Chains A and B, each alone.
Chain A
């Protein structure tokens, strides 16, 4: 299993380095592009966990959709001509303390808990299993997901329409 470990650590390295760039980059657009590699790395980890459908969905939705939305968000709000939006680090000490506490707790839980190890089940067709659970066991959650998407759609229309009315008034 050494190649497996090697591939895992490669993806973990990609995730950690690019996630660090997301946080540390001075220019917000660099953060957005670095997030792309973070999402790809997570997709790779999903592949290693035999979750091939989730990996593809990760690439399609996060890389293809959410990231476009984030970059659009930067372009919509950023007045690049007048002020350059830079990210800055402040409150460094409190944030180190708080994230240290959270990280320490997680590591403590990880090492102290008596984890039950299940035999890894290798499914040759994850998609059909997901489909079966989606329409039977997780039926309500599935329909709820539809309602959440509806809320997102209507909310974005409300925000964008309001903006449009304001600009019309300015033009008049």
Chain B
């Protein structure tokens, strides 16, 4: 049972080692001749103003929470969807109605969010 996860573990290990290698490779192999201009913050040729560590707008929080909620919705949809044919044989179209109730409940939240203008980026 565990044996079938060996490729996955290998993929994770290779990804980890390769990204660590790439992170360090430029400092190992590249020539380093720093000067003050090179070491300053790159801001598309502009002089950087203020600090980058500012407080974020709370609007990002709505996007993040929307992402999680619809992420969870997909997680609930998935085991239902892969088994749909068997389930219809077993219980009839009742289970489709059931999933649609679930989707409509979440859709109500989405419509509320739209009506409130929470996604407007002004």
Cβ of A115 to closest chain B Cβ, rounded Å: 22
A116 at the interface (CB under 8 A from B): no
Tell me if B's interface is mostly helix, strand, loop or mixed. helix
Query: A75-B56, A76-B58, A149-B109 are contacts. A57–B69 as well, Cβ < 8 Å?
Result: no
Cβ of A1 to closest chain B Cβ, rounded Å: 10
Q: Give the CA-CA distance A73 to B58 in the complex, in Å.
A: 9
The reply to whether B79 and A53 form a contact with Cβ atoms under 8 Å apart is yes
Q: Which residue of B lies closest to A70 (CB)?
A: B64
The reply to whether B1 and A122 form a contact with Cβ atoms under 8 Å apart is yes
A-B contacts counted at CB < 8 A amount to 143
Residues of chain B within 8 A of A69, CB atoms compared: 61, 64-65, 68
A132 at the interface (CB under 8 A from B): yes
The reply to whether A146 and B105 form a contact with Cβ atoms under 8 Å apart is yes
List residues of A (56-85) whose CB comes within 8 Å of B's CBs: 57, 60-61, 64-66, 68-69, 72-73, 75-81
The reply to whether B2 and A142 form a contact with Cβ atoms under 8 Å apart is no
Residues of chain A within 8 A of B67, CB atoms compared: 65, 68
Q: Which one, A3, A81, A157, contacts B53 given CB within 8 A?
A: A81
List residues of A (1-60) whose CB comes within 8 Å of B's CBs: 3-4, 7, 47-48, 50, 53, 57, 60
List residues of A (128-153) whose CB comes within 8 Å of B's CBs: 128, 130-132, 134-136, 139, 142-143, 145-147, 149-150, 152-153
Q: Measuring CB to CB, which residues of chain B are less than 8 angstroms from any residue of chain A? A: 1-2, 5, 51, 53-56, 58-62, 64-69, 71-73, 75-76, 78-83, 86-87, 90-91, 95, 98-99, 101-102, 105-106, 108-110, 112-113, 116, 118
**A and B contact pairs by CB, cutoff 8 A, 19 listed:** A60-B75, A61-B71, A72-B64, A76-B60, A80-B54, A127-B83, A131-B83, A132-B90, A136-B91, A143-B102, A145-B72, A145-B76, A146-B101, A146-B102, A150-B105, A150-B108, A156-B65, A157-B116, A160-B62
11 more contacts with CB within 8 A, not counting A130-B79, A143-B102, are A48-B2, A57-B75, A61-B71, A72-B56, A75-B60, A128-B86, A134-B80, A142-B76, A153-B65, A154-B112, A160-B62
